[in-house]
Amino acid sequence: MTTRSQRTSYRDIRDEIARRIGDQVWKPGSLIPGEEALTVEFGAARATVNRALQELARAGLIERKRKVGTRVSLNPVREARFIIPLVSQEIEASGMTYAYRLLSRAERRASRADTLRLEVEPGSVILHVKCLHLADGEPYQFEDRLINAAAAPLALDEPFQAIGPNEWLVASAPFSRGEFSFLADRPSSEEADCLKIKTDAPVFVGERRTWLLARPITFVRMVHPQSHRMTSTL
Amino acid sequence: MTTRSQRTSYRDIRDEIARRIGDQVWKPGSLIPGEEALTVEFGAARATVNRALQELARAGLIERKRKVGTRVSLNPVREARFIIPLVSQEIEASGMTYAYRLLSRAERRASRADTLRLEVEPGSVILHVKCLHLADGEPYQFEDRLINAAAAPLALDEPFQAIGPNEWLVASAPFSRGEFSFLADRPSSEEADCLKIKTDAPVFVGERRTWLLARPITFVRMVHPQSHRMTSTL
DNA sequence: ACAATCAATTTGTATATACATAACCATGAA
DNA sequence: TTCATGGTTATGTATATACAAATTGATTGT
């Protein structure tokens, strides 16, 4: 039997207040009762009411100011977060078996085209790795990566035979700044080949650049077949 | 006396612990001292330590389990934020002229297909709106939206002739939870037609579902031509 | 009239205490 | 061996209390 405690939980209060906002009992822009009043109404301690309100404020539903009070936000939530998963975890999290295959690995001097992607000086030593991530044996993601050797010298000693460059970098090279973009595209013929799709099939592409302070670390293009869906919750 | 009382703030504790994790004083996967021990070390109350730890846990830096303790996450969930823009603002921000065109608006009872998208009971009253957003006269986004009339009854009185449902909803129906997903797809023939592209061209699709607590508010599918790129910075 | 100051109000945070809840673990029964 | 049971322990949450910080609005001095 589940005899729930009869003390009012901050969750109950949070949800009830959210309900009132949703039902427009408290309209956007209007002040809601102060903590003291809510304390009385819900028969809870102020700390409890406060916790409920703080969560709602963090979620962007209300805005609070000392001495002024708490008001319902006029235009709530305007940003969401998405997690940056490791492919292997993403795959295993959905109950499939992960496999990794190195396609090519080359050290070379940065070409003109490379400098557009990685922002290094032409001629800098870079590492170019291509690999494939598979879920239950099926191609899941084609990864094309440039690594700035100056920023991650240990990468030159890593064969990337058994471990993907992403996993390696996560453990060895933290970054302080990142730029992500997502787009729909058609695959190159190499990408289509590796992913076992036709060249006119749409692909979902994520591109990411990361820096540690001003120093570029890596550029990666991740190509998924059409079936891929990137989801995030708020 | 200018010395203000130096009680330790949960922020100080939070930041110090984050620093230790970043500097690998506490290594990934290892247990960190319990709340009681930290309480002693920092000379703060357990509630204060608890608040610091809860914030770190929410940020994904640590994982906590009752009786077991708190350990440093093995793979710190890096996360990025993306803003949820109003199409109109997104377009105007890039210096183009925004235009809106309503394509269709219908009230009806939810079909089986609708319930998959909106999570309402079959037969519930829903509003189905299709519209087009243009940038400098060119099709920019095709929007296909379902609105749960029970959650936003005022929508039934809104013609959506001059204002898009997104802008209207932002002002009238807050949400507390959202699920976003992005994918590459091929356009339906209607979508291709509206966007003036071929049916075999890839499109970038964003889908979003929002709830206020348990109550579904709206589902929207936003279809962009291939040239679209969604970018975010960390 | 105007500026400086102060009191009042509301949220923000710290503390001590108490009990609730989850989960590990040792013990003992089947 | 295996499963159920209960003790132990770390985190989770509620409460009363106290003071801090921010901001408004009224009061006071010039």
* 234 residues of chain B, pLDDT tens digit each: 333 345 679 999 998 998 887 667 898 889 999 999 999 999 999 999 999 999 989 877 889 999 999 998 876 656 677 777 788 888 887 889 999 999 999 999 999 999 999 989 998 999 999 999 999 999 999 999 999 999 888 899 999 999 999 888 877 777 777 888 899 999 999 999 999 999 999 999 999 998 877 789 999 999 999 888 888 776
Residue ranges of domains in chain A? 10-72, 87-225
pLDDT tens-digit readout, B124-176: 999 999 999 999 999 999 999 999 999 888 899 999 999 999 888 877 777 77
A31 touches strand D (CB under 7 A): no
The residues facing A207 across adjacent strands are: A181, A221
Q: Which residues of chain A have pLDDT under 70?
A: 1-7, 75-78, 171-176, 213-214
Nearest-by-CA chain A residue for B203: A184
State residue B1's pLDDT score.
34
Domains B10-72 and B87-225 share a fold: no
Interface contacts (A, B; CB < 8 Å): 148
Angle subtended at Cα B183 by Cα B179 and Cα B184, rounded to the nearest 5 degrees:
165
Strands A177-185 and A203-212: antiparallel
| Distance from chain centroid for Cα A62 | 25
Residue of B215, B205, B141 lying closest to B173 (CA atoms) = B215
What phi, psi does B94 have (nearest 5°)?
Answer: -95, 15
For the record, the structure tokens of A132 come out as 């494939």
Q: Is the dihedral angle over the CA atoms A113, A114, A117, A123 positive or is it negative?
A: negative
**Tell me, what's the pLDDT at B226?**
85
Distance separating the N- and C-terminal Cα atoms of chain A: 33
Q: Which of B22, B184, B215 is the closest to A226 by Cβ?
A: B184
Q: Are A208 and B161 in contact (CB under 8 A)?
A: no
Report the pLDDT value the prediction gives residue A78, as an integer from 0 to 100. Answer: 67
Residues comprising chain A, all counted: 234
d(CA A82, CA B49): 28
Contact call for A89 and B75, based on CB within 8 A? yes
Q: Which residue is nearest to nucleotide D19 (CA to C1')?
A: B5
Q: How far is the CA of B118 from the C1' of D3 (A)?
A: 45
Which positions of strand D lie within 7 Å of protein CB atoms? 8-24
Nucleotide nearest to B38 (CA to C1'): D10
Name the fold adopted by A87-225: Chorismate lyase (3.40.1410)
Nearest residue in chain B measured CA to CA from A200: B200
Tell me the CA–C1' distance in angstroms for A67 and D28.
Answer: 23
DSSP category for residue B2: -
Q: What is the pLDDT of residue A2?
A: 32
- CA separation for the pair A167, A141 (Å, rounded): 14
Cα–Cα distance measured from residue A83 to residue A164, given in angstroms and rounded to the nearest whole number: 19
Instruction: Answer whether CATH 1.10.10.10 is correct for domain A10-72.
Output: yes
Supply the pLDDT for residue B214. Answer: 75
